[in-house]
Chains A and B, each alone.
Chain A
């Protein structure tokens, strides 16, 4: 099945700093999702980004499907950005499906200090 690797595993920032998180995947994907898990365990979907670039406030994401990676940019970080960031890609199935099982990377633990 598809392998998903994230880097760095841990990231400590001062409030206001910018950061880039990386997600590499071992196979071509038809979609790539980024999630933020807050300290209470809630997983929030940040981006559904098969390819190209999307922006949502201080966050943006870029997926280069042909080179099998995606990047999540966080600008002007805030303490509320702390938590674990996961990327996830679906397993490819028979007949070109891309469905069902999401395989998650190990996550990047982000800590933002005031």
Chain B
């Protein structure tokens, strides 16, 4: 099974709402990611979780709050969003490889979920 699932598929929320995006994978991957994609642009990284710990935060505003409850689940909590936050939010996962000579970590093949289309009114 090489599938990453995301819910909901679509979300409309007001600027005062609180909502959550959910992501799940059962490939045994130990790295999970949130990306944001605006129309006609490439995906941009928001957060990386490695072994359930937040390892990269790309200076994302605090109105986005990630959470990794276990190795299969990743959430993104949304609060007080702005209209410019409207976008496609993509979850991804990959295995964490290791370079044999340096023991440095390496991103393996990355799998993306179908995304959540978010509209903030």
Residues of chain A whose beta carbon lies under 8 Å from any beta carbon of chain B: 30-31, 33, 35, 40-45, 48, 86, 88, 90, 93, 95-102, 104-107
Contacts and interface: CB of A to CB of B under 8 A. Distances in A.
A45 B106 contact: no
Interface in B33-65: 37, 41-45, 48, 50, 55-56, 58
B114 A45 contact: no
A92 B98 CA distance: 14
For the complex, would chain B's binding face be called helix, strand, loop or mixed by DSSP majority? strand
Nearest to B117: A41
Contacts, number: 81
Most chain B CB within 10 A, of A31, A40, A41, A105, is at A41
Contacts of B50: 100
Interface residues of B, number: 30
B24 to A, nearest CB: 16
B114 A40 contact: yes
23 contacts: A30-B106, A35-B112, A41-B37, A41-B115, A41-B117, A42-B115, A43-B112, A44-B112, A48-B110, A86-B43, A93-B105, A95-B102, A97-B106, A98-B107, A99-B96, A99-B104, A100-B45, A101-B45, A101-B56, A102-B107, A102-B110, A104-B42, A104-B43
